[in-house]
């Protein structure tokens, strides 16, 4: 009985200690500083598009942690931006207008004690979304529409496209970009008159007016691969030999790019590794068509017991040309440039390294859009200017061309 009483008392003491310890475990700053830090001074203001860059002289406090700016956006949201003690520059952003805005600056020490406030006024320039909106064009494209605009300051913007579904506009697609030249298709629309509403927005939900338009998408279909064929001669004058095996037999690789196999060796086309000049090959679609795009499946090499894209002969920079009646001497005068393209690895990882996202995108095939201001074509000529290893030989598993052959 005494043993039981002693054990109960011991447990009670342990629990009491634990509760006391919990009560005393109050989260506090790791550093304890006395006094209020000094204020920032000598403040410079550079008003920019949708934002302002501030420069200042830091106070001399040795325990300074950061400087923060507090201000209100037009939406009523209070925004707080911080900059560490290792810099004297801070950017206040999120402004959707060009009105004066009061910014309150504080120096904060490592005990989270703030200085006396310093109030300044910024007057930002026009938000970049408006330049994108003024340059905005929505055009009919194959199986959809094409969004074209300019983004002079390369701001991060969203172009939101909505489609009318029986008197209610619903999201069709958002284009998120910071490129200076915007040119992107939105596909998947029916070939009928379609009401669209398009506007531009930034990450702070500042938005422009809405552009309303009604467009009828252009007809598009996959051109049957059963019609594709090699040229006569197979190696068109001016082109490079395209093999698909170590035998080096010229031209045997060309018909492999429409055999339906997107991954296996030797069902592919391969150029000449020792030839460092741009290498081209030509093939016949078998019918005249208003061409819209080409999907290209690169050949993935075997590496480390797996398959890797963005490697060796996978094309990185290339051109696609079209013709209705090419000159038999192989000259380029009878060819029209349909597009210049650059393949980009989504992850941006180093050569020879591939993420799941990288693999999935390449395995699905890269879709390259052609110019729509050209006449009907029957013949295609692909010219590899640079592959992923830094030379010019292409390695392609499969292609599929789209357009309107009616």
Beta-carbon contacts of residue 341 (< 8 Å; ≥ 6 apart): 317, 318, 319, 320, 368
Is the Cα torsion angle 284, 286, 290, 295 positive or negative in sign? negative
8-state DSSP, 49:
B
8-state DSSP, 114:
B
Helix residue ranges per DSSP H, 126-177? 128-134
Question: In degrees rounded to 5, what are phi and psi of residue 97?
Answer: -135, -175
Tens of each residue's pLDDT in the chain, 406 residues: 444 444 444 444 444 444 444 444 455 555 566 689 999 999 999 999 999 999 999 999 999 999 999 999 988 899 999 999 999 999 999 999 999 999 999 999 999 999 999 999 999 999 999 999 999 999 999 999 999 999 999 999 999 999 998 888 999 999 999 889 898 899 889 999 999 999 999 999 999 999 999 999 999 999 999 999 999 999 999 999 998 765 666 667 899 999 999 999 889 999 989 889 999 999 999 999 999 999 999 999 998 879 999 999 999 999 999 999 999 999 999 999 999 999 999 899 999 999 999 999 999 999 999 998 899 999 999 999 999 999 999 999 999 999 999 9
- Closest listed residue to residue 369, CA positions, set 296, 315, 289: 296
Torsion angle defined by CA atoms of residues 265, 270, 275 and 280, in that order, rounded to the nearest 10 degrees: -170
The per-residue pLDDT for 27 is: 56
- Closest listed residue to residue 206, CA positions, set 86, 94, 316: 94
Burial of 157 (0-12, 13-18, 19+ CB in 10 A): buried
3-state DSSP percent of the chain in helix, strand and coil, to 5? 10, 45, 45
The per-residue pLDDT for 11 is: 45
* Residue tagged 């090419």 (tokens): 326
Burial of 382 (0-12, 13-18, 19+ CB in 10 A): buried
Beta-carbon contacts of residue 161 (< 8 Å; ≥ 6 apart): 138, 145, 147, 171, 172, 173, 174, 175, 186, 196, 197, 198
Helix residue ranges per DSSP H, 96-172? 128-134
Tell me which H or E stretch contains 282.
strand 279-298
Do 297 and 397 meet the contact criterion of CB atoms below 8 Å apart? yes
The per-residue pLDDT for 43 is: 98
Beta-carbon contacts of residue 265 (< 8 Å; ≥ 6 apart): 299, 302
Rounded to two decimals, the pTM is 0.74
Do 368 and 340 meet the contact criterion of CB atoms below 8 Å apart? no
Length of the chain: 406
Beta bridge partners of residue 386, listed in sequence order: 317
Burial of 360 (0-12, 13-18, 19+ CB in 10 A): exposed
| Coil, helix or strand at residue 373 | coil
Do 157 and 145 meet the contact criterion of CB atoms below 8 Å apart? no
Do 162 and 196 meet the contact criterion of CB atoms below 8 Å apart? yes
* 243/249 Cα distance (integer angstroms): 6
126: tokens are 């026009």
Do 339 and 368 meet the contact criterion of CB atoms below 8 Å apart? yes
278: tokens are 């741009």
Domains and CATH numbers, the chain: 41-122 (2.60.40.10), 128-218 (2.60.40.10), 222-404 (2.60.120.260)
Helix residue ranges per DSSP H, 78-206? 128-134
8-state DSSP, 226:
G
Beta bridge partners of residue 44, listed in sequence order: 55
* 296/357 Cα distance (integer angstroms): 17
* 10/13 Cα distance (integer angstroms): 5
């Amino acid at each position: 009985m005494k043993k039981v009483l002693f054990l109960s008392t011991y447990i009670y003491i342990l629990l009491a200690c634990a509760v006391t310890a919990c009560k005393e475990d109050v989260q506090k700053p790791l550093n304890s500083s006395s006094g209020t830090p000094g204020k920032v001074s000598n403040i410079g203001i550079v008003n920019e598009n949708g934002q302002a860059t501030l420069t200042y002289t830091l106070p001399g406090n040795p325990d300074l942690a950061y400087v923060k700016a507090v201000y209100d956006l037009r939406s009523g949201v209070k925004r707080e931006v911080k900059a560490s003690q290792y810099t004297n520059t801070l950017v206040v952003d999120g402004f959707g207008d060009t009105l004066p805005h009061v910014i309150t600056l504080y120096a904060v020490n490592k005990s989270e004690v703030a200085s006396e406030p310093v109030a300044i006024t910024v007057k930002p320039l026009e938000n970049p979304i408006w330049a994108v909106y003024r340059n905005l064009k929505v055009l009919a494209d194959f199986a959809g529409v094409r969004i074209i605009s300019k983004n002079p300051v390369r701001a991060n913007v969203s172009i939101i496209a909505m489609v009318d579904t029986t008197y209610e506009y619903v999201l069709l697609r958002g284009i998120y970009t910071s490129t200076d030249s915007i040119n992107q298709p939105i596909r998947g629309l029916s070939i009928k008159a379609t009401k669209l509403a398009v506007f531009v927005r930034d990450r702070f939900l500042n938005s422009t007016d809405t552009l309303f338009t009604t467009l009828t998408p252009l007809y598009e279909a996959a051109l049957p691969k059963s019609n594709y064929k090699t040229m006569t001669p197979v190696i068109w004058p001016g082109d490079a030999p395209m093999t698909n095996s170590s035998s080096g037999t010229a031209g045997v690789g060309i018909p492999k790019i429409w055999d339906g196999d997107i991954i296996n060796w030797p069902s592919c086309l391969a150029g000449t590794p020792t030839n460092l000049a741009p290498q081209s090959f030509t093939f016949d679609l078998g019918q005249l068509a208003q061409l819209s795009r080409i999907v290209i499946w690169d050949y993935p090499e075997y590496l480390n017991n797996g398959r890797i894209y963005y490697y060796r002969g996978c094309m990185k920079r290339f051109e696609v040309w079209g013709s209705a009646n090419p000159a038999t001497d192989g000259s380029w005068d009878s060819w029209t440039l349909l597009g210049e393209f650059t393949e980009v690895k989504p992850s941006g990882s180093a050569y020879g390294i591939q993420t799941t996202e990288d693999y999935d995108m390449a395995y699905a095939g890269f879709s390259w859009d052609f110019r729509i201001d050209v006449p009907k074509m029957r013949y295609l000529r692909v010219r590899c200017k640079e592959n992923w290893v830094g030379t010019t030989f292409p390695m392609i598993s499969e292609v599929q061309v789209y357009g309107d052959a009616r």
